[in-house]
Structure 1
Amino acid sequence: MQERQQARNADLVGQALAAAAALGPGPENFMRAAARQLGLTGRGYDRVLRVARTVADLAGAPQITESHLAEALTFRPRDLS
């Protein structure tokens, strides 16, 4: 939310993204495993974090959970080739 970080989630980069989308141990492990399994690049990882932060905001949750990350991952485009 803009009140928290003075910017839209979509505009967060670097340290601002790390601060707004800080993950606890469980969500961090979930995200690392998903990134490894899906072959996410750094850019892809950050995109998922931004979307997960938005999902958590819409749910009224102060912290990102595994379910927010899982939902964010479902929004990734699939390679149809």
Structure 2
Amino acid sequence: MYSCQDQRLFLAKIQKKREEMMVLGEKYGLCADQTVTCSRELDKLLNDYYYNFQSETSPTSFHQMRKPPFALFANAYSSRKIQTS
């Protein structure tokens, strides 16, 4: 069984991986092997989070309404500026 602290740690891990993927995407491009690998790792973390904390089969006893992924980190990239050509 997972605690609320476990859930927060898992979300922090997801956020760190998301930021890593953004940096790799900016540095090497979205189709680079490093970026794709990181994206797959992020997908796995998101799937694990959903299974452990949001799904009906979740082993936890503190089900919450499922939130859209973008709402979890609404201000995560507000300081980033994306250059357009």
Q: TM-score, normalised by structure 1?
A: 0.28
- Higher helix proportion, which one? 1
Q: TM-score, normalised by structure 2?
A: 0.27
Relative contact order, CA 8 A, sep 6+: which one is greater? 1
Which entry has the higher C-alpha Rg, 1 or 2?
Answer: 2
